[in-house]
């Protein structure tokens, strides 16, 4: 029996308009979708499994390894698979010829599109599931940082941490719920005042030198 390649599909930042046609095709062809209920739930007719990181290998990886020869499996990840996604785990257990990747539009891409700026000079950093340790050095070393967060930290908490580390001369742009109807792009200074600075939701923060306009 031919072995199907596991397909890791980048789902973009959220709204369906940002899902590329090839991603939709791979999802339609799949027998089972693996991913968070937020992503798999977009395709209600499909068999779906959530993510379980417990165990070694993680339970979800074991499921994929055991079933990939008889089922076409699409693993759905938010944004682009190459940026802080489950691909990092999966690639430790599959050989390159055993999987393929469909790129997605990253939250970082969309954040810079909203800012109407290029981002080849941006340093991408994540505090998703990690402590803030190291962020001060990253911000001191890089004039433009795109920071991925995880819903635990508000922009104000990040600003306070940076100020305690001696960083005062930066602007922070908080890009929340990108592509969704409630999308917000808010510029904050290091005082990080105002209700939006308290929001611990789904956001990318761009930290950069202050601009004159």
Ligand X SMILES: C[S@@+](CC[C@H](N)C(=O)[O-])C[C@H]1O[C@@H](n2cnc3c(N)ncnc32)[C@H](O)[C@@H]1O
Binding site for ligand X (CB under 6 A): 13-14, 77-80, 83-85, 106-108, 128, 148-150, 175-179, 202-204
Q: How far is the CB of 147 from ligand X (least distance, A)?
A: 8
Q: How far is the CB of 161 from ligand X (least distance, A)?
A: 16
Q: How far is the CB of 77 from ligand X (least distance, A)?
A: 6
Picking from 13, 65, 62, the residue whose alpha carbon sits closest to that of residue 39 is: 13
Measured from the CB atom, the residue of 4 and 78 that comes closer to ligand X is 78
**Residue 198 to residue 154: CA distance in whole angstroms:** 5
Of all residues in the shown chain, the one whose CB is closest to ligand X is 79
Q: How far is the CB of 155 from ligand X (least distance, A)?
A: 12
Measured from the CB atom, the residue of 112 and 203 that comes closer to ligand X is 203
Measured from the CB atom, the residue of 171 and 177 that comes closer to ligand X is 177
Q: Would you call 175 helix, strand, or coil by DSSP? A: strand
Check if the beta carbon of residue 46 is closer than 8 Å to that of residue 32: yes
Beta strand ranges found along 40-198 (DSSP E): 47-49, 73-77, 99-102, 123-126, 144-148, 170-176, 184-188
């Amino acid at each position: 029996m031919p072995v199907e390649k596991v397909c890791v599909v980048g789902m973009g930042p959220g709204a369906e308009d940002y899902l590329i046609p090839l991603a939709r095709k791979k999802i339609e062809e799949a027998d089972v979708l693996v991913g968070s209920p937020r992503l798999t739930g977009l395709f209600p007719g499909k068999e779906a499994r959530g993510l379980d990181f417990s165990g070694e290998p993680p339970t979800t990886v074991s499921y994929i390894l055991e079933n990939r020869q008889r089922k076409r499996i699409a693993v759905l990840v938010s944004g682009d698979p190459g940026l802080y996604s489950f691909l990092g785990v999966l690639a430790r257990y599959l050989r390159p010829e055993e999987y393929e990747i469909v790129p997605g539009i990253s939250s970082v891409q969309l954040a810079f599109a909203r800012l109407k700026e290029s981002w080849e000079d941006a340093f991408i950093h994540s505090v998703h599931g990690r402590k803030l340790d190291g962020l001060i050095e990253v911000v001191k070393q890089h004039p433009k940082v795109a920071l991925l967060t995880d819903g635990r930290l508000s922009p104000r908490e990040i600003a306070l941490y940076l100020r305690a580390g001696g960083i005062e001369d930066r602007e922070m742009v908080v890009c929340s719920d990108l592509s969704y109807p409630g999308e917000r792009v808010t510029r904050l200074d290091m005082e990080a005042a105002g209700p939006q600075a308290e929001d611990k939701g789904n956001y990318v923060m761009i930290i950069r030198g202050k601009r004159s306009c």
